[in-house]
Amino acid sequence: MKVFKFGGTSVGSAEGLRNIQRIIGDEAGRVVVVVSALGGITDLLIATSEAAARADAGYLEMYETICRRHRDAVAESVPAERQAPTLAETGVLLDELGNILRGVFLIQDLSPKTTNTIVSYGERLSSLIVSRIIDDAMLRDSRAFIKTEPYFNKHIVDFALTNELVRSTFADNARVSVVPGFISSDKTSGEATTLGRGGSDYTAAIIAAAAGAEVLNIYTDVDGFMTADPRVIGKAYLIESLTFLEAMELCNFGAKVIYPPTIFPAYNHNIPIYIKNTYRPECPGTYISRAKTAADGDVRKAIKGISSINDSCLLTIRGLGMVGVIGVNYRIFKALAKAGISVFLVSQASSENTTSIGVRRDDAEHAREVLSREFAQEIAMGEIDEIMLECDLATVAIVGENMRGCPGIAGKLFGTLGRNGINVVACAQGASETNISFVVKVESLRKALNVIHDSFFLSEYQVLNLFLTGIGLVGGSLIEQIRSQQAELLRTNALKINVVGISNSRRSIFDREGIDLSTYKERLESEGIPSTPQTVRDKIVEMNIFNSVFVDCTASPAVAEIYGDLLSHNVSVVTANKIAASSDYGHYAALKNTARTRGVKFLFETNVGAGLPIINTINDLRHSGDTILGLKAVLSGTLNYIFNVLAEDVPFSRAVAMAKEAGYAEPDPRIDLSGTDVVRKLVILARESGYRVEQDDVVKNLFVPDYIFEGSTDDFWNKVPALDAAFEEKRRALAAEGKKWRFVASLEGGACSVGLQEVEAGHPFYDLEGSNNIILITTARYNEYPLQIKGYGAGASVTAAGVFADIMSIANIQ
């Protein structure tokens, strides 16, 4: 005998029902087919009954939707000669359901008994329909042979009685038996009970175990277990084999492929389970058995999958009065068990003064109340603190039987999390070593899943192909940083950085095998071909190298114009050039959208603050659900340097020249002095913060008269000394008041402005040294105390390092 279970999505469409007919029709031996309610019907039944209990006449429309769904299923899938009697039989059940709902509406009462009866119609109707689309199928009522008994606030299966009834029921050797899943009955009263959401899987496992089936096939709408949730991890892939223990661990921690209690009956009777896709039956699926695959001593192969629960809460019982006291944990778990509260994680300090337990959000407040009552006396005496409850958490588990005895798993896991700034709130690992579980803030969940999957499941060797344009101060420094790190990255991170193209404003070289970075200048001069941004673009597209990144270390508008074409050809772009991100908003948005839709990256962290993590921080805040309310920032390392070195013996014109000599100023210092550079940076930050801002929208309160900017660069240098006397006079007056100048960029409610401001001692901007930048970010979360980022905001080496960091983020090297 083989047992098949088909989920709600499988029976919820005409295509799914036809596939069921074909799958079962291909089986030669005896089969039992267990079916769920049509997809969405159980939820609709519950909602309809609740509406009726509120005396909401709208329940009738919901009831009619239920009727229509089932009539349509009959019309679309049942053979023509069987449709009339099938419609008549479903009509009887639907009339019964309508009468019960009407009773609920009239008396405005919905007891658990009535709820169980109402939801049972979902499976009773679907099993009736499925039994009519399969030839020679016998419809059986699971309430007649799956018996339950009350246990705390739930019903559990009485296996001794159920196994006996299953064996006698299926002793007639019917070729195909169709059974409604999920529903059962109380062994004493005979009243309808349920096996819990997902209980149809459990029904199938119970029958398979009791009847001694050779295999349990569970058909759903996914191919099987994946290494992680594919909705979160795009690189997740199918796990073709699992042990029962591995499958149980993954299910318990959120992998909603099968209902967790399903596994034990199959494991206990050594019945293998196949997870298959009703809509892709040719896919191999996941095979679950007692056998495990060899790890070969490889940490990567030791991990089978990652699972998570994103509605976790953590209860912590803490107090010195717990130390050495026997029975504290007994009281904790006894009290929770009596209240029907399930605990999925336990973490206890070895000193015994702290025990943390993980519960679902729906149970959290009740659990705290239960434990507060249980330990009321100890709390009153100060032996135990108030029970702490922390919500908005997620629990993640990495699972694999081959982790047992494989050193380095935990170290690799927590090292990966730590390097990515993910704080672990609590963790637990059993002595079996098959599961390492940890709790993080829910806003860190997606990031945690991604970095873990990248760490444990990517291929052993990765190549990143770079095209670099601009080899001046920043570009030259970047090339040297890459050259010095290439061997180390290959050794420690299995990452080969392959520079396949280098160009300046005149010449370019390209080499698919990689360019020797110790001799690139000589090769550029001797072998370089004439270069324009367009020829560089065309050559990159022509080479069509996988996993390629274009890196722009220029300030050229023409180079920025080729980003869109490169992104559309699946080439990631990393740029220190501010022109694209601060250009017309429509162009900026189009670039980001192209990158997103093509699955590549458009990164420009160094556009603001050089190597400071300003843009990434803003994105992380927004992606986690925070709102950027305002910004106050000193964003020009050049201007900050100028106003810091300005002194009696260092006039304004000399300070500007010193900034140019130190490499802080733009190639044309007028870009800095006119505020243009700060305006661009502010526009970029405002856009990344979620505001639609153009450069013309920024209010500019400038400190240098317009005539200074007219003419050539030489004209500028000739004119600027004329400002020295006025600046010196103002500087002295400012110093006498104990104040300093800072050129401040502001974003408040979407309104942007830049201008010179006087700041006094004690202000966060006052002690800003050298060419440093600082930004204060006010958000919905960081409101009273803004988030502050401060550090070097100019200079070739730190800017190059920021570009390098963006490159590493593309390679998932954190």
Taking only the tens place, the pLDDT of each residue in 763-805 is 999 999 888 899 999 999 999 999 999 998 878 899 999 999 9
Check if the beta carbon of residue 94 is closer than 8 Å to that of residue 70.
Answer: yes
pLDDT, residue 428, reads 86
- Mean pLDDT for 244-264 is 84
Question: Would you say residue 153 has pLDDT above 80?
Answer: no
Question: Would you say residue 522 has pLDDT above 70?
Answer: yes
pLDDT band (50, 70, 90) for residue 234:
low
Question: Would you say residue 813 has pLDDT above 50?
Answer: no
Question: Would you say residue 218 has pLDDT above 70?
Answer: yes
Spelled out in words, what is the top-level CATH class assigned to the domain 615-794?
alpha beta
Q: Of all helices (H) and strands (E), which one includes residue 497?
A: strand 495-503
Check if the beta carbon of residue 50 is closer than 8 Å to that of residue 110.
Answer: yes
- Mean pLDDT for 683-688 is 97
Burial class (CB in 10 A: 0-12, 13-18, 19+), 614: buried
For every residue of 47-75, DSSP letters joined together read HHHHHHHTT-TTHHHHHHHHHHHHHHHHH
Integer distance in angstroms from the first to the last C-alpha of the chain?
52
- Mean pLDDT for 563-574 is 92
Q: State percent of the chain over pLDDT 90.
A: 67
Check if the beta carbon of residue 440 is closer than 8 Å to that of residue 475.
Answer: no
pLDDT, residue 45, reads 96
Check if 681 is active-site.
yes
Give the mean pLDDT of the chain.
90
Check if the beta carbon of residue 174 is closer than 8 Å to that of residue 215.
Answer: no
Residue that is written with structure tokens 């031996």 in the block: 29
> Pick the catalytic residue: 2, 276, 632, 681?
681
pLDDT band (50, 70, 90) for residue 461:
very low
Cα pseudo-dihedral 762, 766, 767, 769, rounded to 10: 170
Question: Would you say residue 726 has pLDDT above 60?
Answer: yes
Phi-psi region of 199 (alpha: psi -120 to 50; beta: other; left: phi over 0): alpha
* Neighbour tally for 644: CB within 10 Å: 18
pLDDT band (50, 70, 90) for residue 455:
low
Question: Would you say residue 491 has pLDDT above 80?
Answer: yes
pLDDT band (50, 70, 90) for residue 573:
very high
pLDDT, residue 420, reads 52
pLDDT band (50, 70, 90) for residue 12:
confident
Q: At what angle do helices 361-374 and 328-338 cross, to 10 degrees?
A: 130
Q: Would you kindly state where each structural domain of the chain is located, as residue ranges?
A: 2-221, 302-454, 462-610, 615-794
pLDDT band (50, 70, 90) for residue 626:
very high
- Mean pLDDT for 215-230 is 90
The fold adopted by the segment(s) 2-221 is Carbamate kinase (3.40.1160)
Question: Would you say residue 565 has pLDDT above 90?
Answer: yes
pLDDT band (50, 70, 90) for residue 452:
confident
Question: Would you say residue 166 has pLDDT above 50?
Answer: yes
Question: Would you say residue 171 has pLDDT above 70?
Answer: yes
- Mean pLDDT for 48-56 is 96
Cα pseudo-dihedral 102, 103, 104, 110, rounded to 10: -150
pLDDT, residue 297, reads 45
The fold adopted by the segment(s) 462-610 is Rossmann fold (3.40.50)
Question: Would you say residue 25 has pLDDT above 60?
Answer: yes
Alpha-helical (H) ranges within 404-444 are 409-419
pLDDT, residue 300, reads 52
pLDDT, residue 405, reads 73
Question: Would you say residue 601 has pLDDT above 80?
Answer: yes
Tokens of 353: 């003064």
Superfamily name and number for 302-454: VC0802-like (3.30.2130.10)
